[in-house]
Amino acid sequence: MRGLYIMNTDFPRVLTLLRKERNISQKQAAAELGISQALLSHYEKGIRECGLDFLIRCANFYGVSCDYLLGRSPDRTGTTLTVEDIPEPDASGKENTFHRGGILPVLNKKLIANSLNILFDLLGKADNKALTGEVSSFLMLAVYRMFRVVYSINPKNQLGLFTVPGQVAQGYASAAMQLCEANASAIAGGNPVEKMPPVERVEDLAITTEMLSQHYPLFASSLLNLIQNSENKIKG
């Protein structure tokens, strides 16, 4: 397999991330991988290209897939998620159980998750892929920004997890969110840009508090409380 080279900008970042997350030195990792420390340093800095045999050796050593090492998959196993693969928000499991921080994390999680159920059902009724895409991107960017804030609490957490540098990430994400919001507002207002189609099924989106209570008896209260809490925050 020698002679087949991998030229990839993500590989140096991920290779360094995996070593630092395992908390081992370059010297230790190089010895385990059967190369010199100098060569590993070149790989981690992106100075040298690696062969396919070394890529496979790294995948086996760190217990990840080659696709993950190359940045082709965000999942360590290299899995490409389908709708069926993604667990439901209320799926059982130890990662879905809150014991720390009292009742507040549980309460807020339920308010947000229940409100999102209504929001995405309404997007389904709108039947506009562009609108759904812009709203989804906005929400994912919001979670991304706050995850980076929480991630930054411990200075030992490796920034190699991210491809966007920390000093510009929040600003870039904020700008991207504003663009998503502008596009979503234009679509919803019947003035879409860049060949985005308008919402045609406007009559299906007649929303009242009574309608919310009738159509979403389990979730409506969460959404109304989220609205109240948000506006209280806005008003200070």
pLDDT digits (tens, 9 = 90+) for 94-118: 555 555 667 888 889 999 999 999 9
- pLDDT of 128 reads 94
Mean predicted lDDT score pLDDT of the chain: 88
pLDDT digits (tens, 9 = 90+) for 22-52: 999 999 999 999 999 999 999 999 999 899 9
Contact 160, 14 (CB under 8 A): yes
Contact 100, 54 (CB under 8 A): no
Cα-Cα-Cα-Cα dihedral sign, residues 37, 39, 44, 47: positive
**Which of 4-8, 119-123, 225-229 bottoms out in mean pLDDT, i.e. has the lowest?**
4-8
Which residues neighbour 67 within 8 Å (Cβ) at sequence distance 6 or greater? 73, 78
- pLDDT of 25 reads 96
Measured between its terminal Cα atoms, the distance across the chain in Å is 63
Contact 192, 186 (CB under 8 A): yes
Residue 133: what residue type? G
- CA dist 211 and 208 (Å) reads 5
pTM score > 0.75 for this model? Answer: yes
- CA dist 51 and 71 (Å) reads 16
- The answer to whether residue 1 scores a pLDDT higher than 50 is no
- The answer to whether residue 57 scores a pLDDT higher than 50 is yes
- pLDDT of 11 reads 93
- The answer to whether residue 63 scores a pLDDT higher than 60 is yes
Residue 13: what residue type? R
- The answer to whether residue 67 scores a pLDDT higher than 80 is yes
- The answer to whether residue 236 scores a pLDDT higher than 50 is yes
- The answer to whether residue 142 scores a pLDDT higher than 50 is yes
Contact 85, 97 (CB under 8 A): no
Count the helix, strand and coil residues of the chain and give each as a percent rounded to the nearest 5.
60, 0, 35
**Residue pointed to by tokens 């969460």:** 222
- The answer to whether residue 6 scores a pLDDT higher than 60 is no
DSSP one-letter code for 199: P
Which DSSP string do the residues of 166-177 spell out, in sequence order? HHHHHHHHHHHH
pLDDT digits (tens, 9 = 90+) for 188-201: 998 878 788 889 88
Counting residues of the chain whose pLDDT is more than 90, the rounded percentage is: 72
Contact 71, 10 (CB under 8 A): yes
3-state secondary structure of 207: coil
- CA dist 216 and 121 (Å) reads 10
- pLDDT of 103 reads 81
Q: Domains along the chain?
A: 5-69 (1.10.260.40), 94-235 (no CATH)
- The answer to whether residue 3 scores a pLDDT higher than 50 is no
DSSP one-letter code for 87: P
